[in-house]
Every structure is written in structure tokens, then in C-alpha cells.
Chain A
Amino acid sequence: MINFSTIVIWILYLISLYIIIFWLLVLIEGKKTNKIKKLKKFPLVSILIPAYNEQDTIIGVLKSVIKLDYPKNKLEIIVVNDGSTDNTANLVKRFINENKNYNINLINQKNSGKGTALNKGLNVCKGEFFTCLDADSFIKEDALKKMLPHFQDEKVGVVLPLMKITQPKNVLQKIQWVEYLINLFYKSIMSHLNCVHVAPGPFSVYRTKLLRSLGGFDEKNLTEDLEISLRLQSKNYKILQLMNTEVYTVAPDNLKGFYKQRNRWYKGTLLNTLKYKNLVGNKKYGDFGIIQMPRVAISGFFAITALGFITYNYVLNPIIKRIYDFSFINFNFLSHLQEFIKNFNLLDLNYTNLFFGIISFIIGALVIFYAHKYTKENIFKHGIFSVPVYAISYSLLASLVWLSVFIELLLNKIQKW
């Protein structure tokens, strides 16, 4: 019988199918490659490292920064010590003394968050370009030489490297490893379409002047990287995702950390979509307004609706019924199964559902294959199970976080009343 939940699942399926087909079309059309000339002269680049209690990693990050294949005198490195209570400041001071030929500065501030640290750096820096590197992230030597030439296009406001995960060890990190690759693939498509909606923290390179003219980062924002990206999009600047240089960052290795991070991201997504709701469905902003912002806006709602209806329709409801029924025959599955096999006929299969299942599987496999191809990674780099485990668990994890975000926001609202 066709019931309400089946209809909802169908609608969700068709909308997802439409969006994915749209993306794949963009991919097939290919990018118009503007010819990028090599850098003739090297502009000054300011690299900001916000650090809060990072004594274990801060020196590693500084080392990876001074190793950059870029003229020493064209690098300005600023460490903003965000009120660390550990040895971070001393370690940085010692490093500065040991590397006097580099332009490294230390700014101390009372603990007041990453947004403030970013703006403090932005205010004092002298570079034509501004970028930020978290104290747990590492870059490749060629990063700046690969990234800066793209600013020859004056419409480009931000350039993003490939953001991958440093040596994923446990299952959760391996799931995120796959997720990041797929996300990068998706972003490269968004980049063709000029629809990237977030420039993540680690080593996104901005035009300093542009950032300043926009008023810097929104310090109170939960996800200031998302906010600044939406602001740039609302001013019609390009955010470019590169596929040829990498930044490595650390992913949470436990569920609690994962939950905390996602909770902040998703809540930030919701609140910032509300902040920029005039972009949603707005033709003036092209594809970004017509398809990307609406997609971002509904993603959470979509995730929990799908979670709710799919688990009810295909998991909870049938399982509860089965358990109830089978309790009457002492859970004698075997005789039931024998009967089933004896009377089975190929016509018993639901071929419509089977067809849509196969289509989803093919699209999913294509996405995973291309995500690895575009980011030049081996599918089995972190074991044969990382991709299947991702495929099974990721949507569930993400939807559960979305659910808790919605509940949290709802409860807050009720409290305010």
C-alpha cells in the first residue's frame, strides 16, 4: 500500500536524485580552464597561526610554514597566543630566536576565541594575502606557489587547497577521511559552478584588502569560516577549490569530539543560512542562490526527515512487527524461511524498488570512485573497509547530530518563551 511515509521517502529520493544529477552534469561539462601563468613576482603573504594550548604541535606547524617553497622575506608569520596556559608562548619565543632570518611575530591576547585571534592578525598584518593555519594542521611546501597564481583572476576572493586528514588511525577517523575526500570532490564541482559555500579554516588564502573591506571575520559567529564565505558569495566573489595542493588537518578520534565539532558546524550552518536567507532562491545570485543555498538550507531538515522516515518504514516498524509475530511461534525462523524459499518466485521481488536501489548504488559508487580519483588517493589506502564502513554509517551519524541540533535549538526557543 502507498502510505504517507512511502510518499515522503519518494519525494526525498527524487530531490536527492535531481541534485546529484545536476552536479554530475556540471562535472561532465568540465571546467573552462583559464590559463594560469606562473608567478613573476612574489607578493607578501601573511600566515596567521591562532594557538590555544598547543605546546605539542605548535613547533611542527611553524616548521612546516618556514619550509614553504617561497621567498623568506615575502612571508609574514603571526602566532596569536589565545591566552594559552601551557608552554606555547615560550616555545614560540624560542623558535623565533632560533629563526631570526624569518619574519615571525607573537601576539598575546586574553583567551577570547578564534574569531578574535583572526581579526587581530588581520588588523596588524602587512601581506597582500592573508591565510590562517590551525596549530594542528600541516601544509605542503608547494602550497603558496600553486595557490597564489589563481589570484590573477580579480574576481577570485579565496583559494582553497585540498583539505585531507592526517594519518587516520581509528574507524571514526577513517570514516572522516572518506568523507573529506567526497566533500572535496563535491567542492571541486561547486567550484566550477562558483557555488562553494564554505572556505574551511586551514590554509584558505584570502585577499587581505578584500577581507578588511568586508569588515573582517564575524567574531561571535559559531562558524566564522562559513560566515565569511557566505558574505563573499553575497558580494559575488569567487571561492576557488584547487585540486593540486594539500593541507593536512586532524580529525576528532572519538565520538564525543566528533559530535562537538559537528554540532558546532551544523548549528553554524543553520544560523548562518538564516542570516543570509535573502540569498536562498534568489536569482540575482545565480546558481548559488537557486540551487546551492536552498540545498544548504534544507540539508539538516532533509537529513532528519530521511532518518526518521527510513528508520520507521524500513527498520523499526517491520522489526517490531516481526518480533511481536515471531514471539508467538518461539522465534522459529527456520520453518518460516523454508516455506519462503519453497514458495519463492522471481515475480515476488519488488523490481521498482530494486531498480531505484541499484541506481543509488551506482551513483554512490561513482561518487566514491571519482572522489578518490580527483583527490589522487587510493580507495584502499586505509584498508578495504573504510569505504564500506563510511557508506553504512556516515549518513546515520550525520543525521543523528542534525537531530540533536534541531532538538537543542527548539529547546532553547522554548526556554526563551
Chain B
Amino acid sequence: MVARKIKKSRYLIAFLLTAAVFTIGILIGLLINTERTSFLERENKLQRLDYDSIQLQYLYLTNTLKKDQDCLSATKALEKQISDLGVLGNKLENFIEDGTANIDDYNLLKREYTLAELRYWLFIKNIKDICDSDNVGLLYFYSNNNCDECRTQGLILGKVKSDLKDKLLVFSLDHDFNEPLLNIIKDRYNVTKLPALIIDDEKYEGLHDDEDLLRIICPRYQGNLTICQAYK
């Protein structure tokens, strides 16, 4: 009969190797996290500069008479910046959802993002009469907790946005995020049910599919958009 011997070192080495593989995985996660944070910080900085620039452009436009050409390019730039900001917001949410994120860092970034969204939203409300820009601003409240319809609404908005391109300006805001300005706006419109949309000071709560949205949005354009022809 065999004398059973246990080679403890083998168990230990196997454990150390497993731990090493695991640690490398975690380190990769941390490394990528740092990269992501600095990427978002860079983008935020860029977005701040873009905002300053656009603000000055409009300031300049208020003092000139010959606006047509300049207005067109300023509006284009503004619309593009808002779309880019939306993409950034999506990335931020995805990074947070990825699990390895350092929540404190991301909360700071998210606050900056939230303020940027609101800043642009207020901005387009104020400059409407400087240039006759033909676009619609849409405030979208979502939540990451227990809101399956928010996920769906997000996808539908993405679809509508890809139809209307930069003519639709979507500002996505996390309803649960704690930011004083956000709270003021939530109270002002009395948002109780998610997902919620605010379009030109009107509130729409609950899930809206793409046809609903086009019916709501399309009549607000002055010009004729091909996609909107059926909904005017």
C-alpha cells in the first residue's frame, strides 16, 4: 500500500500563481481606471474651453449686425459640442458600470459633466434670439437604479438623435445624482416618475417610443426636416 504524502509546497505554489494571475487582472483594472480618469479629465477640460469659446462667439454676435454667416457656423459648433458632451456622458456612465471604477474620482467627473450639461441647456435657452437657430433642446432624466425603462428610453433617444442629428440637443441627467442645481430643476418641473423628458418647459413622464417623440419634437422646428414630414 502507498504511503500517502502531501507535498505542501505544490499547494502553496499553485495558490501563489493563482493569486498572481488574479492580482495582475486587478492591476490591469486599476491601470485602465487611471487611464480612463485622465482621459475624462482631459475631455472635460477641452469641453470647458469649447464652452468658453462658444460663449464668446455669441457675445461677439450680439454686437454685430451682419450675422447670417457667423451665426450659422456658431450654431453648428454649439450643436456639435452638445452632441460630443452626450457621448462623453455615456462613456462616463459605462466606466462607472464597469465595476472597477473608483467612485470618488468618478463622482467629481460626473458632477463636472452634470454642470456642463446644465450650462449648455441654459445657454441655448438664452441665445435663441441672438441667432435664429432651429434646434430643440431636450432634458432627459434617467436613473441607474431600478429603472429598466430608462435604459430603453436611452436607446430610443439614441435612435431619434441619429435621425434628427444635431438638430436635437439631448441633455442627459442622472436623477439620483446629488447636485444643488439639479435639485432645483427637478423641483421646478416636479419630476416624480422616470424616465422624464423636458422639452421647451413641458414635462413628459414615462416611456415614449420614437414615434411619440417625433410627434412631440417635430412641430417645434421652423424649417422642414425630411424625417419630420409625417409628424407635423
Contacts and interface: CB of A to CB of B under 8 A. Distances in A.
Residue among A235, A236, A321, A355 having the largest count of chain B Cβ atoms under 10 Å: A355
A325 B99 contact: no
B36 interface: yes
The list of the 7 closest CB pairs from A to B, nearest first, reads A286-B4, A352-B29, A22-B14, A236-B1, A329-B159, A18-B18, A325-B155
A343 B92 CA distance: 13
Name A's interface SS.
Answer: helix
A351 B35 CA distance: 12
Contacts of B210: 328-329
Contact of A290 (B6, B15, B162): B6
B155 A17 contact: no
Contact of A326 (B2, B24, B91, B155): B155
B182 interface: no
Interface in B150-183: 151-152, 155-156, 158-159, 162
Interface in B1-47: 1-7, 10-11, 13-15, 17-18, 21-22, 24-26, 28-29, 31-32, 35-36, 39
B29 A351 contact: yes
B4 A336 contact: no
B21 A359 contact: yes
Interface residues of B, number: 46
A358 to B, nearest CB: 10
A14 B209 contact: no
B24 A355 contact: yes
Contacts of A290: 6, 11
Nearest to B26: A352
Contacts, number: 110
Interface of B: 1-7, 10-11, 13-15, 17-18, 21-22, 24-26, 28-29, 31-32, 35-36, 39, 87, 90-91, 94-95, 97-100, 148, 151-152, 155-156, 158-159, 162, 207, 209-210
Interface in A346-367: 347-348, 350-352, 355-356, 359
B4 A335 contact: no
Contacts of A25: 10, 13-14, 17
B15 A18 contact: yes
A6 B100 CA distance: 12
A347 B36 CA distance: 6
A6 B98 CA distance: 11
Contact of B11 (A22, A288, A324, A350): A22
A347 B39 contact: yes
